[in-house]
Amino acid sequence: MSLKNPFQSFLNDKCKECDYICSEIRFQQNFKNWTSGNDDIDEFIQGTQLSTHDKYEVSKKALEWIPYNRFCNIKYNEKIGVFRANWIDGYIYGWDNENWVRSNENMLVALKNLNNPKNITLEFMNKIKSDYEFYGITQDPQTKNYMVVLCDKCKKCDYICNAIHFQQNFDNWTSGNDDIDEFIQGTQLLEHTYYYRVNALEWIPYNRFCNIKYNEKIGVFRANWIDGYIYERDNENWVRSNENMLVALKNLNNPKNITLESMNKVYLMNF
Ligand SMILES: [Zn+2]
Ligand SMILES: [Zn+2]
Ligand SMILES: [Zn+2]
């Protein structure tokens, strides 16, 4: 970071490398508006911002100081030893005229304690980035702990694919049967797609069906599926299609029988 001649601020502050007001300059103009309260952290974050020029690279390269009140539903997850929270604003996607444009409002993130702010180095950041999207740093105002703000990313896709979104929801449903849970989760973990769902199955609570009637002729139940199937992902939400579609509910005689092979057979029968 270079200290600038005060008269320079009267000029249009262009980036020497880009010859326009790039992301670096926009970040730099904002340095006076935030501080983490810790010099090492401020310098590190500023350094990542000053090496980001292209607006579409911001979320991949630059870290942000994220005030703690930009998170909600903060809960400690004992199993993985991190806090989970929703990030109200979502990450920087680019900019439009004078404003940063953000994406994925309320996205699910992990907040992980940064034990020693002195440890925050390029090496540390790159190590985190091989497993996670790394968006920035925050501080719990009560404990004063600094925390890194992360989101799991798919190692295969190198971004937050649909498999990750399904995985983030594993704790919120169960069929009550381990074989079925594992089978459904398995199909979801193979969903390496970005927008459109291709193969993933879901656990569907029985109360999401109505007009359930047994059809003696074909020996199955017919019902309307109130929500319809998952069609694609739009930011943090699944978009469904064909609300109230007519479906068949067929007894699964033995949950142990549910394998990829039998799933393909079912597809052939129904579609
Ligand atoms: Zn630039
Ligand atoms: Zn993936
Ligand atoms: Zn997301």
Same domain, 137 and 173: no
259 and 180 together in one domain: yes
Taking the C-alpha atoms of 176, 182, 188 and 191 in order, what is their torsion angle to the nearest 10 degrees?
-170
Boundaries of domain holding 241: 162-270
Domain boundary among the residues 152, 182, 197 is at 152
Residue 167 alpha carbon to ligand 3 centre in Å: 11
Instruction: Indicate whether 72 belongs to any domain.
Output: yes
Residues whose beta carbons lie less than 5 angstroms from ion ligand 3:
104, 107
Express each pLDDT in 101-159 by its tens digit: 998 899 999 999 998 888 889 999 999 998 899 999 999 999 999 999 999 999 999 98
Give residue 20 CA to ligand 1 midpoint distance, Å.
7
CA–CA gap between residue 201 and residue 197 (Å, rounded):
10
pLDDT at 267: 45
Determine the Cα–Cα distance for residues 229 and 247; give it in Å rounded to an integer: 11
Residues 114 and 189 in one domain: no
Q: What is the pLDDT of residues 195-217, one digit of tens each?
A: 899 889 999 999 999 999 999 99
Kindly state whether residues 33 and 100 are assigned to the same domain: yes
Distance 104 CA to ligand 3 centre (A): 6
Please state the φ and ψ torsions of residue 108, each to the nearest 5 degrees.
Answer: -80, 125
Query: Hey, what are 132's tokens?
Result: 């996670």
Q: In terms of Cα–Cα distance, which of 92, 10, 18 is closest to 57?
A: 92
Contact criterion met (CB below 8 Å) for 260 and 270: no
**Are residues 17 and 140 part of one domain?**
yes
Number of structural domains found in the chain = 2
